[in-house]
Amino acid sequence: MMIEVSKAKGSYIYDKDNNRYLDFVAGVSACSVGHCNKDVINAIKNQCEKYMHVMVYGEFITEPSLDLAKLLSKNLPNSLNCTYFTNSGTEALEGSMKLARRYTGRTKIIAAKNAYHGSTMGALTLMGLEERKKPFEPLIPDVEFIDFNSIEDLEKIDEKTACVILETIQGSAGFILPKKGYLKFVKKRCQEVGALLILDEIQTGIGRTGKLFGFENFNCTPDIIVYGKGLGGGIPVGAFTGSKQLMDVLHVNPILGHITTFGANPVITAAALQTLKIILNSKIMEETLLKEKLLRQKLTHKLIKEIRGIGLMLCLIMKDFEIANKLVLQAKNEGLILFWLLIEKRAVRITPPLTISEKELEEGCDIITGILDSIE
């Protein structure tokens, strides 16, 4: 599936021969406001002319980082008011694990089977998929697993539990939504035993589900959220947000208990700030739900067994892996970028830029249904 990229703009990627590919993946949900968004580029240029890297995170105050933290806080529930910026979503997840253990004084972590939170040692430990973990063992101890959406399994959350870490919508497992009330039951159980609830919003965050963050769809406010991808508008960034009371424990015992050189880099946070402004100051989130409706209307075919997800975080569940694989590979040959999921082998990812037009969506849908007609 290799493409030698020459440029990308809006909803399209171009190769060295100037062939154009309509992007239905957005760098795996990262290019939220399209490729090379002019406002994001200008924000980067303007910041580069002032200063770039000046000091490790926390020693100096940089305006774009401060403004980004303020804007996030303004648009989040009151309890989520303090943010730590990192270089990726996975790095933010690692920081949240440290924070939970430090704050509670406990070590046990609960994660979901078939979860994916990243590939670093801590994040890999949280993946309930032994064949992917075994080559790198031993991993972090005292991690247990529950079935996502199982109320019965919540009994495993006990007084030894530091935190429960879940994807708001399970991503690589096949865009599995939490059942009605599930996340509220998890939060209630965490409160009963003094554990923290951490929601991984790396894929669901920054407007992709029609809300700024996915948890807003399910009436459950976690103790900590972890996010990245779409926040940067195509630039690498991550963050975890909790209450100031929670986050303050990273300052002491030991001092500088969590530090980073390039986290909250002013160029990166300038790009993220502009991306967030674009999403908040437009109808992008509202239109995301209309675009979902259009995709569901257009993508009707007997080889598509189900369409899962919310907004522009969707996947097609095909009859089998062979059909899913043929669709992804043939689509590239016809000028459309699709992609697989890591765990659910029958799935085909559809996570285009949030700025994609209805005309472009229809163009992509016609390619998909045409390929499926030829496979049939």
Q: What is the mean pLDDT of residues 210-234?
A: 98
Q: What is the mean pLDDT of residues 71-91?
A: 98
> Counting beta carbons within 10 angstroms of the beta carbon of residue 333, is it exposed (0 to 12), middle (13 to 18) or buried (19 or more)?
exposed
Residue with tokens 């909250």: 264
Tell me the DSSP string of 256-277. Answer: T-S--SSTT-HHHHHHHHHHHH
- For the chain, the average pLDDT equals 96
Do 5-30+283-375 and 40-280 come out as alike in CATH topology?
A: no
* Whole-number pLDDT of residue 301: 97
pLDDT digits 0-9 by tens, 319-366: 999 999 999 999 999 999 999 999 999 999 999 999 999 999 999 999
pLDDT for res 255: 84
DSSP string, 137-202: -S--SSEEEE-TT-SGGGGG--TTEEEEEEESSBTTTT-BPPPTTHHHHHHHHHHHHT-EEEEE-T
Tokens encoding 342: 């890591």
Mean of pLDDT values over 73-79: 98
Q: Mean pLDDT, to the nearest integer, of 79-95?
A: 97
* Cα separation, 267 vs 261, whole angstroms: 13
pLDDT for residue 253: 85
Query: How many other C-beta atoms can be found within 10 angstroms of the C-beta atom of residue 51?
Result: 12
Pairing of strands 108-112, 143-146: parallel
pLDDT tens, position by position, 115-174: 999 999 999 999 978 888 999 999 999 999 999 999 999 999 999 999 999 999 999 999
Sequence spans of domains, the chain: 5-30+283-375, 40-280
- If you classify domain 5-30+283-375 with CATH, what class do you get? alpha beta
**3-class SS of residue 304:** strand
Determine the Cα–Cα distance for residues 329 and 331; give it in Å rounded to an integer. Answer: 5
What is the per-residue pLDDT for 131? 87
Q: Where are the alpha helices (DSSP H) in the chain?
A: 26-29, 38-50, 63-74, 89-104, 121-125, 130-133, 182-193, 244-247, 266-280, 284-298, 321-333, 358-375
- The percent of residues above 90 in pLDDT, for the chain, comes to 94
Q: What pLDDT, on the 0 to 100 scale, is given for residue 130?
A: 84
CATH class of 40-280: alpha beta
